Each structure stands twice: as C-alpha cells, then as structure tokens.
C-alpha cells in the first residue's frame, strides 16, 4: 500500500524530508506546510505537491497516513499533539521536545490514538554507526572501556530556541545509549556561554555506563566542522567519521606474555588496521524507510518516543549541571 505523506516545516532540515518522500516510491508526497508562504510554495512546485500555510487545514483536507514534523524545537509539542490527535503517524525531528513534560504528553497522545511516533535521531541510521554497533555486539572490540564523541563547528544562526546540549549533544547521548544498550548511571558536565549571547554554546560531558566512560565534546565555537566518534575496547579501537561514514578498526595484538621491551613494542606497536567497507547511504532516507516500514508492518520504529525522552532527560540533566556550576 502506498502511504500518503506530508511535511510540516520546510526549512533547512524539512527540505530534506520533502526530497526523500518525493524520491521514495513507497509513499506519495501529497502536501507540505510552512508559515513561510514564499519558500513553501516554491518548494511545493518543485516537488509537485499541495502547499498549506496552516497545518490543521492540511490535516483536514488531505487524507494523510504519515507526517514529518520539522518545525523549531519549541513548537514540537503543539504541532505533534495536534497531528497525533487526528490519528496520523508522526516522524518528529530530534530533540523530541524542550521539556520532559512535553515529551511525555507527546508519547501519551500517540499511544491514546494508536499511531506510531518516531523521533529523528538520525545518527542511528548512519551506516557506519550500524556497522560499529555490529562490532560491539559481536564482541569484536572486546569489553568497551570508553566512547568519545566530538561534534563541533560554528553556530548556525537559524537556531533560536535550543542550546548546544539539547540541539547537538543529544545526538551522541542517544548513540552512546544505543551502542551500549543501556542508560548512564551518572553524569558530570562542564560548559557555558562563550560566543552566543544567551544560550550555552560549549559543553564537555562525562557519562558513566557501569565500567564504561562516555565523553562528549560539543560546541558552536570550533571554526571547522568535526563529527567524530571513537570506541576503545579490550580487543581493539574503532574510529568513525559521522560525515564521511568512514570506519577504521585497529585490532589489538596484545598478549600478556611479552617477555622483553622489544616484544612489548612489537605487540603494541602494530595493531591490525582494517578500513571497514561501509556502504554509504543517506541516513535520513534510511530513517524515513524505517518509519514507513514501522507504520506498514505495525511495529515500533527503531527510535521510539521513549528513546527520544531518555536522550532528552540526560541532555536536560547536563544543562542543569552547567547552569548550577
């Protein structure tokens, strides 16, 4: 069955949702909605669909199965609840909302109306992350001792309603929980406001997952864009570039029987380096395909409302610590 789709909010990220729905044969892109009439109409002509300025009118007039909500974070709750109440399945961009109360309301309304709710934690669908998760799950890296993520770059001025933690660190918070299949038991954070006039724009976070440490460095200050992840385990070390989807594995040659410093150097100095062949693909396309499949096959999406809530809770705890320091 072909699902009828629409996108609410067609700014920087929403445009990508529109293009994907247009290109995916399993769906028909029926309509888009944005309060900016000029750019919205232009986009609707390009992608051959109807344009609406008011999303409630769009939901009334179009018989929609699925909708992506890609409006600024402060509007997530209002728009998501309005759409879910009409019985339409929703792919809501990350973070799920700005507060835990709003997130809970969104999740409850999805349940009450028996519709699917997916949260756009896009890195879950990064093919390099999927491969890395496989290596961790099958023990190729051994016992994981630490995970480090660096997500830095200059401030995108269009973001008017979210701080660095809720907007960016939340990606890596979710990925750490996903890779380790658990929630952190403690956290420490340090950060603040440097270049931005009102919102936190740099942070360093230490999350403890039992014996494993997770370290996240995020900012809107570093003049180049870096999106890296590395994982250290007792059997090896993996480096991942979120942008290029490159994944490199260094398999340890360590054995405990080194009987001289020479052996020690040989055994530590030359790990087996493997450039893992990752089949590049667009994470957003894979995220939307998962959402479509979840709706069609009546299963939970890979990233549920609860996953979105869990990541948000941790992000808000981090913000709380920064503010209180």
- Residues near ligand NAD (CB under 6 A): 8-14, 33-36, 55, 70-73, 75, 93-94, 120, 122, 158, 167
State how far the alpha carbon of 89 is from the alpha carbons of 44, 180, 240, 284, 285, in Å: 21, 29, 33, 17, 17
**Least distance from C-beta 36 to ligand NAD, angstroms?**
4
Of residues 106 and 141, the one with the C-beta less far from ligand NAD? 106
- Nearest CB to ligand NAD, comparing residues 295 and 311: 311
Q: Considering beta carbons, is residue 16 or 89 the nearer one to ligand NAD?
A: 16
Nearest alpha carbon to residue 70 among 57, 61, 83, 85: 83
Output the smallest distance, CB 52 to ligand NAD, in A. Answer: 9
Cβ proximity to ligand NAD: between 153 and 271 the closer is 153
Query: Tokens 């919102």 correspond to what residue?
Result: 199
Q: How far is the CB of 94 from ligand NAD (least distance, A)?
A: 5
Structure tokens at 145: 């001792």
At closest approach, how far in Å is the CB of 1 from ligand NAD? 27
Question: Cα separation of 217 and 205, whole Å?
Answer: 7
Alpha-carbon span 123 to 128, nearest angstrom: 9
The secondary structure of 246-307 as a DSSP string is EEEEEE----TT--SHHHHHHHHH--EEEEE------HHHHHHHHHHHHHHTT---SSBHHH
CB nearer to ligand NAD: give 52 or 237: 52
**Taking the complex as a whole, how short is the minimal distance between the CB of residue 74 and ligand NAD, in angstroms?**
9
Nearer to ligand NAD, 233 or 305 (CB): 305
- Least gap, CB of 176 to ligand NAD (angstroms): 17
Of 70 and 278, CB closest to ligand NAD: 70
Residues 105, 109, 114: CA angle, nearest 5 degrees: 150
90 near 110, Cβ under 8 Å?
yes
Query: Given the complex with ligand NAD, which of 209 and 290 has the nearer CB atom?
Result: 290
Nearer to ligand NAD, 13 or 147 (CB): 13
d(CA 206, CA 311): 14
Query: How far is residue 103's CA from residue 166's CA, in Å, rounded to a whole number?
Result: 13
Task: Give phi and psi for 213, each to the nearest 5.
Answer: -100, 140
CB of 171 to ligand NAD, least distance (A): 7
Burial class (CB in 10 A: 0-12, 13-18, 19+), 11: middle
Smallest Cα–Cα separation from 187: which of 307, 325, 73?
Answer: 325
Give CA–CA dist 236/79, Å, rounded.
45
């Amino acid at each position: 069955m072909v699902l009828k789709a629409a996108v609410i909010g067609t700014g920087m990220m929403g445009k990508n949702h529109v293009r994907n729905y247009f290109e995916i044969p399993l769906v028909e892109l029926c309509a888009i909605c944005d309060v900016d009439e000029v750019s919205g109409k232009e986009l609707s002509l390009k992608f051959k669909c109807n344009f609406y300025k008011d999303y409630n009118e769009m939901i009334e007039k179009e018989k929609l199965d699925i909708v992506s909500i890609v409006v600024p974070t402060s509007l997530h709750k209002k728009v998501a609840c309005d759409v879910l109440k009409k019985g339409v399945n929703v792919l809501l961009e990350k973070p799920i909302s700005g507060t835990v109360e709003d997130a809970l309301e969104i999740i409850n309304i999805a349940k009450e109306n028996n519709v699917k709710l997916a949260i756009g934690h896009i890195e879950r669908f990064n093919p390099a992350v999927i491969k890395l998760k496989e290596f961790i799950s099958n023990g190729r890296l051994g016992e994981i001792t630490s995970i480090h993520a660096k997500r830095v770059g200059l401030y995108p001025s269009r973001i008017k309603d979210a701080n660095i933690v809720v907007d960016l660190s939340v990606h890596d918070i979710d990925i750490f929980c996903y890779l380790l299949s658990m929630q952190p038991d403690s956290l420490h954070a340090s950060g603040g406001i440097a270049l931005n006039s009102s919102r936190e724009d740099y942070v360093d976070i230490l999350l403890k997952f039992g014996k494993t440490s997770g370290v996240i460095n995020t900012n809107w200050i570093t003049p180049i864009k870096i999106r890296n992840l590395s994982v250290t385990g007792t059997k090896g070390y993996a480096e991942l570039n979120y942008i290029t989807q490159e994944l490199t594995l260094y398999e340890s040659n360590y054995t405990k029987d080194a009987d001289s410093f020479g052996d020690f150097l040989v055994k530590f100095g030359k790990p087996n380096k493997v450039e893992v062949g990752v089949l590049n693909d667009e994470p957003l396309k894979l995220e939307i395909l998962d959402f479509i499949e979840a709706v069609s096959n009546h299963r939970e999406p890979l990233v549920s409302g609860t996953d979105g809530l869990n990541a948000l809770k941790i992000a808000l705890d981090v913000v709380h610590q920064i503010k209180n320091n």
